[in-house]
Amino acid sequence: MLPIGPVGYGNSPYSALSAFAGSPFLICLDRLAEQGLISRADLGAPTDFPHDRVDYARAAAYRTTHLRTAFAAFRAASGPERAAYDAFCAAERHWLDDFSLYAAIKSAEHETSWAVWPEGRRLRDPGTLEVLRHELRDQIEFNRFLQYQFSEEWRRLRAYAHERGIGLIGDLPIFVSHDSADVWQHRDLFSLDDQGMPTVIAGVPPDYFSATGQRWGNPLYRWHSRRQGVYAWWAARLRTTLDRFDVVRLDHFIGFQRYWEIPASEPTAVRGRWMKGPGKRFFEHMQRALGSSALPLIAEDLGCVTPAVQKLRDHFRLPGIRVLQFAFGTDPQAPTFLPHAYPHRAAVYTGTHDNDTTVGWFEEAGGGESTRTPEQTEKERRAVLAYLGVADGSQIHWDMIRMVQMSVAGTAVVPMQDLLGLGSRSRMNRPGLATGNWEWRFLKSELTHELADRLGTLSRIYGRE
């Protein structure tokens, strides 16, 4: 699943406000009603919300009203639940206190980035922060309450899954947002100037998705000059993530071997340079910190993959990623994305959150804003039909699902949009575009018994139960 932190700029889960906190949007209001913290009758039914899109502003307003009601009721309570809350706050203090303060100040500053806060707040003057902890104490405690409720609910979710033999695969972005509690709290671990602004930023050079590359804008870690601090922060981050998931997709794995450094003043990612990443030393440190030589990670090794990246991945026996959509185009790695070339130690996807849906990809005309010409699009269509051995694309999503299921790859992943056979309107993200992403959602009613039976049948046939 996508990262589950509180979304930041552009409502992107990859620009979360914290690498440790959970999104309050994922707190179930019905469960709070079951606890007696809110009235189910007061919840109503927001029937005028869009069917297949998330309206983040309206959803936040609707949910916050009820979460505050629940918070007021919780504060008046005592007993085991309150003791569990106190224990949670004590155990997570290393990130929770600063995140709760950061989120409270951000609310008081009308949700602006910490980079434009008054100097005392921006640069964490101790006296200023002590005053704010007193002035904003109610909001700070509300933020702690939200994280406690999220944690408890996620714990129950994971236990429910485990009882049914189901594991959860999470997603861990390599970089964090500049406007996050993490960078605000640990400015010394990132390449920032004296005022807290990035001097260099992350991205990737021109590629399949964009002719000018991708200027992500995330601050870069001081991997070498602040190694001990960065590694300690990463170890804590991994422990928290693995408390929630059984396996984690490590986003932009190539960045651990080398990363694209862009001067912060550059408007695109074209004028950057490759820099040496932390490499083996980082993962050896994580093995020691987690007390295991087998790291439960999937290496998202898409992009400018070099032999050195492959060597790093294979040294730690991490499965890499194969994307079936990429097997029929001009990607330099296309031959390795064909199922007959997969190794067992791999995770294969029909497509990812950065791709069009399979139906949208197949039906795209090409040209215009597309990354493919009409000729390339038609050539790929012919190639995929020939490879799949089908006469037309009327069931292209199921044909592709069958192909990844029957492959020898140890893990097969299918986006929900492909299970539902949806087109480009349901695409999750268009890399390089700052708005209009991360809004798609499905309804529970769309997850039918017929869909489950069809997927279950394929899973049984190909030994993926």
Annotated active-site positions, please? 251, 300, 354
- Tell me how far apart the alpha carbons of residues 89 and 99 are, in angstroms, rounded to a whole number: 12
Contact 105, 125 (CB under 8 A): no
> Residue 157 is encoded by which pair of tokens?
């979710």
For 95, other C-beta atoms within 10 Å of its C-beta total: 20
Contact 262, 314 (CB under 8 A): no
| DSSP-assigned beta bridge partners for residue 214 | 204
Distance of CA 317 to the CA centre of its chain: 23
SS3 256: helix
Distance of CA 20 to the CA centre of its chain: 12
Contact 463, 454 (CB under 8 A): no
For 168, other C-beta atoms within 10 Å of its C-beta total: 15
Q: How many CA atoms lie within 13 A of 224 on its CB side?
A: 7
- Tell me how far apart the alpha carbons of residues 286 and 291 are, in angstroms, rounded to a whole number: 8
Q: Is 429 exposed, middle or buried (0-12, 13-18, 19+ CB in 10 A)?
A: buried
Classify the phi-psi angles of 50: left when phi > 0, otherwise alpha if psi is within -120 to 50, otherwise beta.
Answer: beta
SS3 67: helix
